Amino acid sequence: MGAQKPENKIDTKRRRKLVLELRKEGLLYREIAGRIKEQLGPDELPKGYDASYVGQDLRRALKQVESDLETEAKDMLRMELRRLNELQRAMWHKAMNGDESAVDRVLKVMERRANYLGLDEPEELDLTASTDTETVETLLDALQEYPEARQAVADALSGD
């Protein structure tokens, strides 16, 4: 029996990527554990690798994907804000000297920036537009981590 090598980041990342791929194929956790053992071999896996470990790998992989997306979104936002700043800077002098077209463009840039940053008041939510069961369940599920908000929505929809 080979000595277990310490788990490193490359092995973990490779294993979690494989877990995600197999889960996307619809395999159950125990099936994934079996496939992982076949493909990587016992010396490449943490001791006791099983279905519960697969679940842990999956949660961590999904959390990493979410973190990566959030980072990419923040980078994109910074880039877009820089572009808006450059556009505004290019039109600012003309706008301040009374060029109405430049004023309109600067205002549009400012509106876009406010939209990106969430500075404007949100549009009103029309709860009467669609209160079918599926929509209500989706909304309440989305508010699972916010019990007060979840209760307030449930109360509003029930007319309490």
**pTM: predicted TM-score of the whole model, two decimal places:** 0.52
| Short-list 81, 107, 83, CA closest to 99 | 107
Residue 91 and residue 102 in contact, taking contact as beta carbons nearer than 8 Å: yes
Q: What is the pLDDT of residue 49?
A: 92
Task: Please provide the average confidence, as pLDDT, over all residues in the chain.
Answer: 84
Q: For residues 92 and 79, give the distance between their C-alpha atoms in angstroms, rounded to a whole number.
A: 20
Per-domain residue ranges for the chain? 9-117, 124-160
Count Cβ atoms below 10 Å from residue 111 Cβ, excluding itself. 12
Q: What is the pLDDT of residues 132-149, one digit of tens each?
A: 777 777 777 777 777 787
Cα dihedral: 99, 104, 109, 110 (round 10): 100
Q: For residues 47 and 64, give the distance between their C-alpha atoms in angstroms, rounded to a whole number.
A: 23
Q: What is the pLDDT of residues 54-85, one digit of tens each?
A: 999 999 999 998 999 999 999 999 999 999 99
Helices in the chain by DSSP H: which ranges?
9-24, 29-40, 51-96, 100-117, 133-142, 147-158
Q: What is the pLDDT of residue 2?
A: 44
Q: What is the pLDDT of residues 108-131, one digit of tens each?
A: 999 999 988 888 776 665 555 556
